[in-house]
Structure 1
């Protein structure tokens, strides 16, 4: 398999964005709506490019590794080794340990709660990603085969546009169903693979046409790519800040705001992916400690994703105890973010040197896809 140097940098950027999402989401604990709450609303919304980037990378790496003839049993056994053991272990852990706001013991779960957590991925707020990626792994051979048929017919871009349209309809429909039928329907629908299928197939497209995509991106002005990503950030961030200011809370915003957001989000995420690739090229070309640290952070991003809620919750408990501050204080957010990024990386890198522990934090998958 040809390895793409951009991948580890992109994983690192996405992991930092995930931490930003899960630190900033505590704006809901701020009484009322003030400037601190609005700033964190914007960070929370804009950093949501993380999961689309991870999904995009998954499609890219899998399509590069598995093209032409390959063994399906080998494919599924590799995917099971890299995803199922960490998912089962951390589901069990997060069923016992609560990480909402601060760390604590959640009690012994009932069998019904265990089944729900495994099926929905709600043992903790970040595990839903595993439910989604497992579906895409299971369906990858069919998805790739279908994509290749369109690609051979010269209709790959048509397929991408069609999937973009379907994904938008699916996600808007998930919000509408949740509003009129019940929120549990939204919880299920947003975890099903059509909600992120466009990003996955976009990764497959890039794997099949890597040189063409690199040439096309290099033909664009970096300032233009950044302007497109920035315009999306201003539009989405400003829309949500205005909505929270008007309605008094994030959850209280109207259904129309959620639906408009779902329509617009891909047009922000795609330029962000392009901007992140440009940043990866710049880092990789410059070399030095910054590039090495960024690449190492990306190589450990899978484990960082798994453990960071524990670190955020523990860091918050220690910070509040030592300083007397809370989530309503502006100093809390950058401190917890930096602590979570550094401690998560340190914990995962340390665990990777322990026999068999690497399988639990995903280190056995580095450079394997």
Structure 2
């Protein structure tokens, strides 16, 4: 080969190397720009669901359906391989938050950083209210809709339990795909732990004979006051009534016994009509809890406040607080105060 031809060949080779380097540099720049640039068009609340059995191409297709247009399929596959995510995407729902980059999204899918939804069991809810709230919760899967309370408890693995009071009030996190039964199992276990801890910590002089009796009384205390500082006082008052054989005479148990027929007004006829839950007509505790007691109510019953009061009535000023009395005469005077305050508040509201 002549020197001129060799020179031309060398020059062509160099030019090809330069061209290949330029193409590689351009491709790398394009790739890195794709990987770390925010995805366009995302809105708050957008999400993508990776389901069991979804291949990576299927996931890319779902991103396209969600409005993501950035990146060729090859770029998504290359980035997924680089991040070790191509074959290890976790099932679940992922947020497509404005500003998210492809790299951040694939890392979230690799780590299983799914959207966490919240469901709150409110202190004082009864089982009917809890089940209604679960039925309306989205995107929770509804597996208990056709189950009555007995079948529900059997499905949860507790066929001999009454459901009332058995689910601890607090906020539970769940992911898309979880069911109401999943959430109730967690709430039931949390309630069992809280009750066991309260029973272990109980006053040795308590009148309560079992953890279940503690659960029942805690549910009554929960319904009687929303004022945290009053719970130990009311728990102590009920303990003293139980000790001397005095009826609890607590309206929330009567209301529970009325059930769905309760219209928001408790009447004298309700107080005199006997039901298993009427603590005006029956001594001792009702047969089951009447609501879901929280940890504070359980602890109040475990460690009730000392005192001598046997009566209490709402102040009637809208604060939710109560007046306590040792004697019936003092209580009757407090009732008159309540009525005056209630009438004044009613007039002020008109």
- Report the TM range for the smaller structure's normalisation: under 0.3
TM-score by length of 1: 0.23
Greater relative contact order (Cα < 8 A, sep 6+)? 1
Q: Which has the higher helix share?
A: 1
TM-score (norm 2): 0.24
